């Protein structure tokens, strides 16, 4: 059986997430569908959901899925007893790929259900750090053990299920509350859009997440580089360890060095105590170096040494500190050009650019704009207020703009429109791109061709907006054939 990739798992988790937003009247039926879907993701035979009983404090089988589902619901398990009971007690996941030789396995379960079990993943369902239940997955259909990829996927699934179950059971008015929790989950993990351009980047991120290689994430400003860094960390074997980030372009060398490596007491004026740096804070996890192209050359030398030796000395110290840190970096600059100009070290470039993930600009994923706008409307609508709707023609209007500030500019534009629009609909008049564009002069340093293209993008984009995205009308105003306008739009990245 062909193994399902982690990328496919991400897509399935997103489908499970959408299931949680459907009608909640038949909770048991929905939970069964979700469990069945999770079984398909990892190729497991059976799954069960156990909830802690408030009176007895025992685990009781609430739902089961798979061929042996009816047998699985007959056992109550005290806390601390068996794999599920231990998970309920400790709040930590247990993976056992040979339960027959695992003293923690509760043989009573096998006896009562007449099931032959070889391997099991038992995960806590937690809300506010409190265990409310346990979800278990038993035996792979192909006989293989549960892999690291399986457990990473199932951990994400357990988090979603805990939120869903608790809110469903404790709150009849769960709609808005669950939407808020679901949005929080999406912000932490999911990436909006399913265009070929963004899916290519997601698939690439999934492919390299489990490696130890350093990754350089490149792309224009506002394309979501830090979000992808979080995604890679969340999919890696380091997901339970720290994710630490710093913007390399925001600090002078002396402060950047102090932030990265820490200092001993008395290392400089005002150093009243020892302070650990970000490398130490990220030990075992991931360090994300944003805007690495802005890092001064002197600091690049020190960073290279730490990456090579996996060790450093705190400022003012003499003791070598060993660290195990995965480096993720990001930049919107052309580092190869900076190397040619002597502004970035080539040896450091090779160290941080073992794998490169290029993120597409928003103009190359226009089919995602409608989903992104819906997402940002939900995100920025004040609690208790109804979400604003689209007026016909708004989406083509937004798709006709070239978005130099990418997703960040789109989000700012939507948030501003929500705040300033008095009606219950967003229209083309709700958007003012002049107030959301970057304050940086984009023409500085541009070639004549680039400057001409930028003018044409702006001029044609304004015309399209005035016609609410109608290309036939826009072509007539511009005095060109519609076919020529279509070629221009494609050439300029507007279509």
Looking at the fold, whether 338 and 383 belong to one and the same domain comes out as no
- Domain boundary residue among 341, 358, 375? 358
Looking at the fold, whether 438 and 344 belong to one and the same domain comes out as no
Q: Per the domain annotation, does 1 fall within a domain?
A: no
Q: For 341-392, how does the pLDDT look when each residue is reduced to its tens digit (9 = 90+)?
A: 999 999 999 999 999 999 999 999 988 998 899 889 988 888 888 888 887 7
Chain CA centroid to CA 229, Å: 8
Tell me how many domains the chain contains: 3
For residue 358, what pLDDT is reported?
96
Looking at the fold, whether 254 and 178 belong to one and the same domain comes out as no
Sign of the alpha-carbon torsion through 11, 16, 20, 25: positive
Q: At 45, which CATH number?
A: 3.30.450.40
Enumerate long-range contacts of 470-475, CB under 8 Å, 24 or more apart: 470/396
Question: What stretches of 177-305 adopt beta strand conformation (E)?
Answer: 215-218, 243-247, 262-263, 275-276, 286-290
CA angle 37, 38, 41 (to 5 degrees): 90
Q: At 206, which CATH number?
A: 3.40.50.300
Q: For 405-425, how does the pLDDT look when each residue is reduced to its tens digit (9 = 90+)?
A: 999 999 999 999 999 888 888
Tokens of 218: 């490149």
Looking at the fold, whether 275 and 353 belong to one and the same domain comes out as yes
Query: Strand, helix or coil at 246?
Result: strand
Looking at the fold, whether 346 and 310 belong to one and the same domain comes out as yes
For residue 160, what pLDDT is reported?
78
Round the average pLDDT of the chain to a whole number and report it.
81
Q: Per the domain annotation, does 167 fall within a domain?
A: yes
For residue 446, what pLDDT is reported?
42
Looking at the fold, whether 383 and 454 belong to one and the same domain comes out as yes
- Domain boundary residue among 126, 159, 189? 189
For residue 186, what pLDDT is reported?
46
For residue 216, what pLDDT is reported?
98
Looking at the fold, whether 341 and 383 belong to one and the same domain comes out as no
Enumerate long-range contacts of 57-61, CB under 8 Å, 24 or more apart: 59/84, 59/85, 59/88, 59/133, 59/134
Those residues of the chain that have pLDDT short of 70 are 1-30, 66-75, 109-114, 165-190, 433-455, 492-495
- Domain boundary residue among 168, 189, 210? 189
Looking at the fold, whether 281 and 172 belong to one and the same domain comes out as no
Q: For 62-101, how does the pLDDT look when each residue is reduced to its tens digit (9 = 90+)?
A: 777 755 555 555 567 888 888 999 999 999 999 999 888 8
Q: Per the domain annotation, does 174 fall within a domain?
A: yes
Looking at the fold, whether 171 and 273 belong to one and the same domain comes out as no
Q: At 374, which CATH number?
A: 1.10.8.60
Looking at the fold, whether 12 and 103 belong to one and the same domain comes out as yes
Domain that holds residue 172: 6-189
Q: Per the domain annotation, does 408 fall within a domain?
A: yes
Looking at the fold, whether 37 and 128 belong to one and the same domain comes out as yes
Looking at the fold, whether 73 and 216 belong to one and the same domain comes out as no
The share of the chain scoring above pLDDT 90, in percent, equals 35
Sign of the alpha-carbon torsion through 17, 23, 25, 28: negative
């Amino acid at each position: 059986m062909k193994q399902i990739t982690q990328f496919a798992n991400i897509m399935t988790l997103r489908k499970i997430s959408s299931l949680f937003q459907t009608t909640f009247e038949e909770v048991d039926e929905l939970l069964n569908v979700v469990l069945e879907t999770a079984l398909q993701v990892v190729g497991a035979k059976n799954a069960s959901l156990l909830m802690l009983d408030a009176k007895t404090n025992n685990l009781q089988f609430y739902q089961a899925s798979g061929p042996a589902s009816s047998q699985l619901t007959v056992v109550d398990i005290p806390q601390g007893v068996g794999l599920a009971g231990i998970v309920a007690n400790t709040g930590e996941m247990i993976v056992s790929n040979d339960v027959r030789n695992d003293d923690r396995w509760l043989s009573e379960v096998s006896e009562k259900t007449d099931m032959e079990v070889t391997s099991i993943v038992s995960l806590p369902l937690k809300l506010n750090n409190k265990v409310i239940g346990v979800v278990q997955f038993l035996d792979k259909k192909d006989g293989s053990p549960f892999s690291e990829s399986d457990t990473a996927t199932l951990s994400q699934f357990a988090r979603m299920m805990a939120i869903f179950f608790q809110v469903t059971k404790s709150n009849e008015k769960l709609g808005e509350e669950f939407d808020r929790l679901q949005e929080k989950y999406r912000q932490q993990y999911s990436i909006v859009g399913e265009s070929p351009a963004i899916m290519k980047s997601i698939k690439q991120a999934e492919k390299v997440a489990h490696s130890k290689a350093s990754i350089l994430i490149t792309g224009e400003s506002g394309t979501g580089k830090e979000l992808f860094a979080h995604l890679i960390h969340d999919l890696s074997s380091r997901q339970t360890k720290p994710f630490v980030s710093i913007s390399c372009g925001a600090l002078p060398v002396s402060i950047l060095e102090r932030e990265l490596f820490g200092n001993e007491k008395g290392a400089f004026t005002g150093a009243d105590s020892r302070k650990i740096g970000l490398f130490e804070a990220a030990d075992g996890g991931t360090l994300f170096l944003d805007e690495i192209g802005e890092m001064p050359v002197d600091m690049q030398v020190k960073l290279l040494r730490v990456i090579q030796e996996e060790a450093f000395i705190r400022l003012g110290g003499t003791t070598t500190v060993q660290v195990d840190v995965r480096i993720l970096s990001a930049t919107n600059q052309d580092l190869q050009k900076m190397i040619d100009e002597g502004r970035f070290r080539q040896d450091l470039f090779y160290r941080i650019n073992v794998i490169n993930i290029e993120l597409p600009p928003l103009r190359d994923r226009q089919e995602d704009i409608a989903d992104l706008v819906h997402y940002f409307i939900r995100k920025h609508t004040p609690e208790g207020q109804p979400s604003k709707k689209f007026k016909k023609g708004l989406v083509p209007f937004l798709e006709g703009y070239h978005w130099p500030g990418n997703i960040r500019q789109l989000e700012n534009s939507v948030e501003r429109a929500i705040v300033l629009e008095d009606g219950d609909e967003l229209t083309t008049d709700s958007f003012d791109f002049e107030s959301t564009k970057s304050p940086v002069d984009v023409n500085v340093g541009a070639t004549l061709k680039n400057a001409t293209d930028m003018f044409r993008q702006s001029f044609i984009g304004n015309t399209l907006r005035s016609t609410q995205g109608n290309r036939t009308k826009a072509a007539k105003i511009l005095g060109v054939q519609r076919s020529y306008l279509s070629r221009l739009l494609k050439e300029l990245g507007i279509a």
